[in-house]
Structure 1
Amino acid sequence: MTDTSETQPADRAAHTTQRSPLRRLMRYIPLIAPVLLWVVPCWVLLHTGQHWPLPVALGGTALFALGLVGMPIAMTRGHGRRQEDRAAIVGDTLLGASWVLFTWSVLLGLLLRLALTAAGVGEGQDRARIVTWVVLGVTAVLLAWGYAEARRVPRVRRLDVELPRLGAGLDGTRVALITDTHYGPLDRARWSAKVCETVNTLDADLVCHTGDIADGTAERRRAQAAPLATVRASRAKVYVTGNHEYYSEAQGWVDLMDELGWEPLRNRHLLLERGGDTLVVAGVDDVTAEPSGLAGHRAHLAGALDGADPELPVLLLAHQPKFIDRAAADGIDLQLSGHTHGGQIWPFHYLVRIDQPALAGLSRHGTRTLLYTSRGTGFWGPPFRVFAPSEITLLVLRSPGRLPSP
């Protein structure tokens, strides 16, 4: 027998040493990111050969400096202890605008310089100013379009999903999915009402909300969430918590959703029966529930399925796609998730994929388990959606051989 009393602590120490540089770097990201977001565009647009008149160069640089200082202050006042909605709106808007400007200053600035060089436009003020004006123009268009996309009522995305274990009696079951509504500093009570009206046109058997209802407590965002009481489903309306509930008194949101007529599936299930067949509809708390320290909250799949017939098909609600590993290991048939927002503002898509196994749409995991990841119904923080449209999803469940012809 090998004595591991010395090797295990050594391994842990080595692992800690390996992780510590990354952890130290992560600590500085809140300081580094704002500097990059504002300094890089300032340099590209104002100081790389343009030779603007001195008042223009100084005024433009002052605006970037104001953004660099003002954005962190506004976000701290808006999302910190003060919870000032106006400050949050300013900070979030500056964050989204700086991200888009940074992205296109780097990408488009580089591509334009290469294209202009290939076209025979050499180094000089003309080339530099062309880059500046094109980058500013593209950024303005993307921000205007992204704002309109974020504030609009989402389009309905309809999808037929075949589940091999679904009985014929349940074929055609209509499941409407909304998620990540993120009611917040911008008052979206009217938007919320229109979303609910759209859901009611879908004639759904089951309506699901997979979390991140709001940014703020239930008491503070009640008016925006109130229209959820008007949602209709022929069988049930079910809800699970998202990570943002655990930033804002999650139990208050669970209680409010119950009051509004939604059934919170906190590590439990219900049965949907039709035509002599049965579907298990289960839900789990978000994976951040237990680390939040809120008593009684944790993601517990075994508890959610306790008492369910293992031969029955299971539809699972779990806020984050990353829960799919546990779902697949347990043979879940279909998991519905949100959380990713489809990236919300390109190219944040690629960063999301580092943390989550899926960005959007239907994907297969293991031999039996399907995952549907919604791009979300609302938006978080910056009021923009760029190349990541929001959605209300209608999934029509099909038993084997019942998929409609293309």
Structure 2
Amino acid sequence: MLALMSVGEAVESEPKRRSPRRAIFGFVVLAVVALLFGVPLVTLLWSGNDWPLGVELAGTALVVLAALGFPVLMFRGHGGHSDTASRIADTLLGVVWVLFTWSVIGQAFGLALRLAGVDDPVRSRVVTAVVLLIASVLLLWGYAEAMRVSRVRRVDVTIPRLGPGLDGLRVVLITDTHYGPIDRTRWSQGVTKVINSLDPDIVAHTGDIADGEVQQRLSMAAPLADVQARFARVYVTGNHEYFSGALGWVEHMTSLGWDALHNRHLVVTRGGDSLIVAGVDDRTAAGSGLPGHHTDHEAALAGADPSLPILLLAHQPHQITGAVSHGVDLQLSGHTHGGQMWPFHYLVRLDQPVLQGLSRHSERTQLYTSRGTGFWGPPFRIFAPSEITLLTLHTPR
């Protein structure tokens, strides 16, 4: 699943890899596809169900065709920039992931039934019915969760170095909007409406704004121009910008009135106290080949008053190491999507130090990781709801 969730990224971001590495990647993808489609095939059709021959043959043919077509659709969609192919491939990936997960659980349930003395074909048919029922409910619910305007998650953060004039500062965080092959213009308008209702002092977008070039996603990004903030609207790049035209998105966000914190900072002052608001490029930026694009905390904080507290935007939680070493007080990140589709979060944790929420990483440095405002790929969110985050900053009581 991890290989497939990133296959679109690999197609676009690694076109010049040497053939042995590409061969290994291809083998891994094919092995994962065989596993994802094979386990549901065995569970639902072959495990003692004793279906009529016609049903078994038709079902097997359907699964095999889907498995063979899936990589083609994924590469045509995310590699060839076909929105239609992307929609089909992404939806298929979500469906097969849920079927795979619950087929594995179903096999354990089947073992329990066997120990209880339930014989086939009744045992296997009960497992099939349970798997299909749970998968159907989760997919319908997960789709509704993905497509709805995100709920507001309210978080209070105490920052010891924050001056009293900034106590109660309201920071709204959105991230991973992933404007993509499904038109979510109305959704984007709804997100902007919610943000403005929170009366923010600062609005931050921590990257992965879209999958596609600016011209492809103009209507979905347009409502960002209407976002209101008392002091600043700030944005940093995520990993997806670097195969969706990063320079174009940085320029477009600037044209919409946002400050693109491309390894730089600004200062917000209220009540006689100030806060450094800084941003760094995503950790993948250095491999993009774009001049000057790389994570550079020193450049981002150059000239900043070292006595002032620092709010840092960095797309990935993994970048917290640099924040700690540079004395950042609070880093805001996204990228993980909270796992997006249970139990994918176990794989996310292999790559990232934090899945979601507020965490502490040194005596000074805290990290808030959002579950993301949109979704990538499969249009489902299962046990990982999206969020628009309202962080209220406080001085110590």
TM range, normalised to the smaller chain?
over 0.9
Q: Counterpart in 1 of 2:27?
A: 28
Letter in 2 for 1:134: V
Deviation at 1:137, TM superposition (A): 0.8
- 1:95 paired with 2:105, answer no
> In structure 1, what is the Cα distance between the partners aligned to 2:317 and 2:90?
25
Letter in 1 for 2:92: L
Q: Counterpart in 2 of 1:15?
A: none
Deviation at 1:75, TM superposition (A): 1.1
Is the 1:109–1:135 contact (alpha carbons within 8 Å) kept by the matching residues of 2? Answer: no
- 1:302 paired with 2:301, answer no
User: How many equivalent pairs are there?
Assistant: 378
Matches within 5 A, 1:5-404: 26-81=25-80, 83-110=81-108, 112-121=109-118, 123-401=119-397
> In structure 2, what is the Cα distance between the partners aligned to 1:28 and 1:306?
45
Deviation at 1:117, TM superposition (A): 3.0
SS in 2 for 1:279: strand
Q: Which runs of 5+ in 2 are unaligned?
A: 1-19
> In structure 2, what is the Cα distance between the partners aligned to 1:22 and 1:196?
43
SS in 2 for 1:184: coil
Aligned-CA RMSD value:
1.4
Letter in 1 for 2:179: Y
C-alpha distance 195-332 of structure 1, shift in aligned 2 (>3 A): same
> In structure 2, what is the Cα distance between the partners aligned to 1:27 and 1:337?
31
> In structure 2, what is the Cα distance between the partners aligned to 1:63 and 1:119?
33
SS in 2 for 1:354: coil
Deviation at 1:22, TM superposition (A): 10
Q: Under a length normalisation based on structure 1, what TM-score does the superposition of the two structures give?
A: 0.91
> In structure 2, what is the Cα distance between the partners aligned to 1:64 and 1:149?
27
Deviation at 1:23, TM superposition (A): 9.6
Deviation at 1:24, TM superposition (A): 7.5
Is the 1:362–1:372 contact (alpha carbons within 8 Å) kept by the matching residues of 2? Answer: yes
Show CA shifts across 1:264-286 (max 9, x none). Answer: 00111111101111100000111
Identity within the alignment, %: 62
Deviation at 1:72, TM superposition (A): 1.2
Letter in 2 for 1:62: A
Q: Under a length normalisation based on structure 2, what TM-score does the superposition of the two structures give?
A: 0.93
SS in 2 for 1:238: strand
Letter in 2 for 1:290: A
> In structure 1, what is the Cα distance between the partners aligned to 2:253 and 2:341?
29
Letter in 1 for 2:35: L
